[in-house]
Amino acid sequence: MDDFLLRALLAGLGVACLAGPLGAFVVWRRMAYFGEAMSHTALLGVGLGLLLGVSTQLSVMLVSVTLAVLLVAMQQQRQLASDTLLGIFAHTALSLGLVLLAFMETVRVDLMGYLFGDILAVSTLDLYWIYGGGLLVLIVLTLIWRPLLALTVHEELARVEGVPVTQVRLLFMILIALVIAVSMKIVGILLITSMMIIPPAAARRFAVGPEQMALLAAAIGAVSVAAGLWGSLQWDTPTGPSMVVAAGLLFVLVQLSGLFFQRK
């Protein structure tokens, strides 16, 4: 196997293992729009990173985390619903990113690469980002797993029973921001949410417990990554979108299998 293919596969598998468990919470907490908006913000991070000449992963991380903190702070007021706030922040950030990129005439920017991913160009440094950042994300997620699950089921009940709700929620948003930052290069800004949502949704049919669903989601994500990579080599299709198509096909397959083997 060629080096760049091996790196691509490793990067994709790393992202699948992150996006699965975290995505399970995105699905349980109905935060698909949050993930979507958050990832759009990443473009502002890219613009700032290129402008200041720092690593784009770092700048995307900083911008996304700032947005998450800002959102949690703004959610304390009640006049605007959080999805409205999110729309305001995220789309402003996306547009600001595009405006910034337009100003930088000297920098050649591969916009398509950021929007849809460029997994075949993954470098060894990118792999460090994915596995280093990913390990951190999984450790923190494990630590906040129980309280996060408790507040997902019933927030006030969790609060009465001693869960530090605001802190846990903020940590979770920061984790999503981190995952977006490290996996941007793999499937791109526009498609990263799909890797968080489709695998857990497909896993639901077979899962009897929350942890099981999260692990299954990681596995389904990994299969999608491998299948997408293979398909993109076979038919010369764009890699990121091919992985998402593979995940979508798996989801459909699972639904169809449910029709034939109806569970009680």
Partner 1 sequence: MAERDLLLEADGVCMAFGSREVLRHVNLVLHRGEILTLIGPNGSGKSTLVRLLLGLLTPTAGALRRADGLRIGYMPQKLQVDEVLPLSVARFLTLTGRYAKEKVAAVLREVGADHVSDHPLQSVSGGELQRVLLARALLREPDLLVLDEPVQGVDVNGQVVLYNLIGRIRDQRGCGILMVSHDLHLVMAATDRVLCLNHHVCCSGTPEVVTRHPAYLDLFGGAAFAVYSHHHDHAHDLHGNVIPGDEAHCETGDSDG
Residues lying near partner 1 in the complex (CB under 8 A) are found at 27-28, 30, 146-147, 149-150, 152-154, 156-163, 201, 204, 207-210, 212-213
Could you identify the residue written with the tokens 């958050």?
Answer: 38
Residue number with CB closer to partner 1 (176 or 190) = 176
Structure tokens given for 45:
């991070």
Please tell me the distance from the alpha carbon of residue 27 to that of residue 62, in angstroms, as a whole number: 24
Distances (CA, A) of 115 to 145, 184, 229, 240: 31, 8, 18, 10
For the bound state, the minimum distance from the C-beta of residue 4 to partner 1, rounded and expressed in Å, comes to 37
Residue number with CB closer to partner 1 (190 or 250) = 250
Please tell me the distance from the alpha carbon of residue 43 to that of residue 149, in angstroms, as a whole number: 31
Residue number with CB closer to partner 1 (75 or 159) = 159
Please tell me the distance from the alpha carbon of residue 225 to that of residue 186, in angstroms, as a whole number: 10
Residue number with CB closer to partner 1 (91 or 154) = 154
For the bound state, the minimum distance from the C-beta of residue 195 to partner 1, rounded and expressed in Å, comes to 17
Please tell me the distance from the alpha carbon of residue 39 to that of residue 116, in angstroms, as a whole number: 12
For the bound state, the minimum distance from the C-beta of residue 264 to partner 1, rounded and expressed in Å, comes to 11
Amino acid making up residue 242: S
Could you identify the residue written with the tokens 């449910």?
Answer: 258
For the bound state, the minimum distance from the C-beta of residue 171 to partner 1, rounded and expressed in Å, comes to 17
Residue number with CB closer to partner 1 (9 or 203) = 203
For the bound state, the minimum distance from the C-beta of residue 211 to partner 1, rounded and expressed in Å, comes to 10
